[in-house]
Structures are given as C-alpha cells and as structure tokens.
C-alpha cells in the first residue's frame, strides 16, 4: 500500500517539478464507497471489505482516484470533485482512466434495506432513506414513473 501511494505521488512530483506531502491512509471506511479522500487531513480512507475482495483494482484504480483528489486540492484548492483538474490529474499525470464510480459487488457491505413500491416497480431503500421517510423529513419519487414511493409492509 505504502509503495503504491508513493508511486502515485512521485508521478505528480515529476510532472509538476515540485514536492507533495505523502498522504496517510487507513482502512476505516464503511458502506458502499471504495475509498474517500479527506482533503484537509491529506488522508485516504479505504473500505477494508471491498479491498480484500478487489485488491488489484484498488491498486490500479481506487488509490490513484483518491490520491488525485488530494493532489488537485494541494495544487488548486477547492474545485469540482471530478472536474477538469481532477480528470487531467488522473489521465495525464497518473496515467489512469478518469472513472468516477467503481463496479464492485457491494453485497457484503450493504446494510439492511426496505422495500418500497411505485406505479411501475419495487425499490430497495437504505435504512437512512427509510428513516428519513418515517421521520417525515423527505419523500422519494420513482425516476421512471414519477410516483411517490410507498413502504411495502
């Protein structure tokens, strides 16, 4: 892991002819996200379950993706997360395709879901979305038919 992070930072240092602080990392990320960059901490957080199941893809895609966020923040400050600066960093500097979503199987990291119906289908909502509906903080509509989702008891 340390070697992969160092390699990515070295690519940026050579390209920009300046030094960058090497980020720290931890495996303290849960849920469906594979990784997350904490810009002000210069830290990567990685999902340990998805890492074990997709180790090669983490080294080739996820780690460069998150490091690109940190490098862009270091160079430009706050900019659009997957904007032109990040895309340039991914493709031209790190030499990695600028994908914004992973295609990993998230079955093992999915929490409990709740069934909701609309006019055309049944949808599985996360516990967070379900609780927002229960607390009357929001309503969700189907993106296809436009009907409001109703809980299936």
Q: Please, what's the b/e burial string for 40-61 (b: 16 or more CB within 10 A of its CB; e: otherwise)?
A: eeebbbbbebbbebbeebbbeb
Q: Identify whether 66 is a catalytic site residue.
A: yes
Catalytic residue (choose from 2, 55, 66, 148) = 66
Tokens coding 93: 């500097």
For 113, which DSSP code?
A: E
Angle at 13 between CA 9 and CA 14, to 5 degrees: 120
Tokens coding 6: 């160092």
Active site members: 66
């Amino acid at each position: 892991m340390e070697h992969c992070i160092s390699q990515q930072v070295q690519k940026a240092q050579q390209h920009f002819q300046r030094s960058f602080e090497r980020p720290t990392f931890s495996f303290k990320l849960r849920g469906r996200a594979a990784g997350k960059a904490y810009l002000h901490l210069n830290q990567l957080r990685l999902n340990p379950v998805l890492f074990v199941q997709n180790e090669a893809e983490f080294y080739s895609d996820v780690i460069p993706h998150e490091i690109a966020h940190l490098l862009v923040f270091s160079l430009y400050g706050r900019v659009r997360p997957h904007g032109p600066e990040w895309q340039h960093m991914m493709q031209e500097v790190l030499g990695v395709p600028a994908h914004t979503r992973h295609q990993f199987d998230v079955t093992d990291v999915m929490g409990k879901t709740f069934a909701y119906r609309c006019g055309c289908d049944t949808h599985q909502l996360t516990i967070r979305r379900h609780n927002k509906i229960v607390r009357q903080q929001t309503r969700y509509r189907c993106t296809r038919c436009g009907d409001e989702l109703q809980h299936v008891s």
